[in-house]
Amino acid sequence: MTEPRRLFIKTYGCQMNVYDSERMADVLRPLGYVMADQPEGADLVVLNTCHIREKAAEKVYSELGRLKVLREEKAAAGGGRMTIAVAGCVAQAEGQEIMTRQPAVDLVVGPQAYHQLPELIARVSRKRGERLAADFAPEDKFDSLPNTRAANGPTAFLTVQEGCDKFCTFCVVPYTRGAEWSRPAESVLAEARRLAEQGVREVTLLGQNVNAYDGPGPDGTPWTLARLLRALAEIPGLDRLRYTTSHPRDFEGPGGDALIAAHAEVDAVMPYLHLPVQSGSDKILRAMNRKHTAESYLRLVERVRAARPDLALSGDFIVGFPGETEADFEATLQLVRESRYASCFSFKYSRRPGTPASAMPGQVPEEVIDERLQRLQALLVEQQVAFNAAQVGRTLPVLLVKKGRHPGQAIGRSPYLQSVHVNGAEQLLGSIVAVTIEGAAQNSLAGALLKAAA
Ligand code: 5AD
Ligand code: SF4
């Protein structure tokens, strides 16, 4: 038997990376790796990186600088060697260059190759040579991942789709995550059943374009996301289903209608939709290659709201895309006013080398971007506060996820993905309870237990 080795994984970026990090731990567990809370003294440190904006990528290099020092300290204290691995999208995008820029890195492993981590680590420990595994082929990865998946509380992420064929002109994802690919339905269902058996009550299906899901069903014909959700809803214990992120274009056609119908008809499908729009100006949307307009986006939101009037709508925005004028930005604010969001992510445009937008004329000065972002965020906060305040007085089913800061308190999730603080509910962690909402703040709700519901 090998003695336990300490593994520290630091995750950057999106929820797909959170899922990948959990699966990396699953891959490494049979080799005797146990999770550590800090990098100090760890035998293996994995940085699971994000390349989407420049800041995210740069953070990785400063973290690597710190790890290099920790590795030296560990060796000096007679603690043996610390292996440093860079995984995720920076690994995919920059490959070997990472090792040139920071020679302390032992291995680089892309998002489609982490099932090879055991072999790569073995190679590193034998000789320091070919260390790059960043070739695409999600099939290989999912086939090779262990069937054991350690659930971590009553909620879990589950990757069902990867990659992107949309080529928005600002975005690196089509280059780092490859072409759109959907996991076979049966493999998703099997993983979901195992999670449910471990007490998971809420699963969030992940994909860069999750509503483009078209994985083969048991007879080889493709399933839509709606069909997958309906099959998942049959699994005992799985009471709540979410999915993210959706692209407006993939709501066109029968698959989109079926998904909207699922929101109306399947109780387990939560009334929440993350539907990035990026801008409210048709001129900018064209330059972004989004292939939808502000109007078609608003009509789509109306269709989903007709199916689920209480829908919590979320989105992503980019401020300061090349060529964005004050009038274009005003159009974004107008779209926000009409959409009535529950919560949103908004980003300053980040110029990513190699993307078409990075070479476009009319790059917007930093001060202008800052000022616009502030105005957009002020409006989004106003909407978020209003959405939360509207829940006061309602009784909502809340999935209690973890302990709160105060004795006896539990923190749960509303159907709308709001955090809910509930006093005297700690003993009910893992169950869905009825909570009367008594207070609302910008980022959370507070309420009192009505009665145990499940
Ligand atoms: N600059 C700023 N934001 C970006 N996003 C993607 N690429 C960029 C970029 N180059 C944002 C988009 C996307 C989210 C995941 O990140 O809003 O929906
Ligand atoms: Fe990037 Fe656009 Fe694909 Fe989303 S849809 S991952 S923003 S290219």
Task: Tell the residue nearest (CA) to atom 2 of ligand 1.
Answer: 349
Ligand 1 in contact with 170 (CB < 6 A)?
yes
Q: Which atom of ligand 1 is closest in space to residue 278's alpha carbon?
A: 17
Residues 11-34 pLDDT 10s = 999 999 999 999 999 988 888 899
Q: How far apart are CA 297 and CA 419, in angstroms?
A: 28
Residues 258-269 pLDDT 10s = 999 999 999 999
Residues 40-91 pLDDT 10s = 999 999 999 999 998 888 899 999 999 999 999 999 998 888 999 999 999 9
Tokens of 345: 């992510």
Ligand 1 in contact with 175 (CB < 6 A)?
no
DSSP code string of 183-204: --HHHHHHHHHHHHHTT--EEE
Ligand nearest, relative to CA of residue 353: 1
Residues 269-286 pLDDT 10s = 999 999 999 999 999 999
Task: Tell the residue nearest (CA) to atom 1 of ligand 2.
Answer: 171
Residues 180-231 pLDDT 10s = 999 999 999 999 999 999 999 999 999 999 999 999 999 999 999 999 999 9
DSSP code string of 20-78: HHHHHHHHHGGGTEEE-SSSTT-SEEEEEE--SSHHHHHHHHHHHHHHHHHHHHHHHTT
Q: How far apart are CA 134 and CA 113, in angstroms?
A: 6
Residues 314-349 pLDDT 10s = 999 999 999 999 999 999 999 999 999 999 999 999
Provide the CB-side half-sphere exposure for 98 (13 A, CA): 35
Ligand 2 in contact with 208 (CB < 6 A)?
yes
Task: Tell the residue nearest (CA) to atom 17 of ligand 1.
Answer: 316
Ligand 2 in contact with 216 (CB < 6 A)?
no
Ligand 2 in contact with 51 (CB < 6 A)?
no
Residue found under tokens 């759109």: 180
Q: Which of 92, 162, 167 to mutate to test the pocket of ligand 2 (most atoms within 8 A of CB)?
A: 167
Q: How far apart are CA 196 and CA 9, in angstroms?
A: 25
Task: Tell the residue nearest (CA) to atom 2 of ligand 2.
Answer: 168
Ligand nearest, relative to CA of residue 315: 1
Residue found under tokens 């994995």: 46
Distance 347 CA to ligand 1 centre (A): 7
Name beta bridge partners: 159.
Answer: 206
CB contact at 8 A, 184 and 222:
no
**Displacement of CA 186 from its chain's centroid (Å):** 22
Predicted structure pTM score: 0.86
Q: How far apart are CA 38 and CA 439, in angstroms?
A: 36
Residues 126-148 pLDDT 10s = 654 434 455 455 777 777 777 77
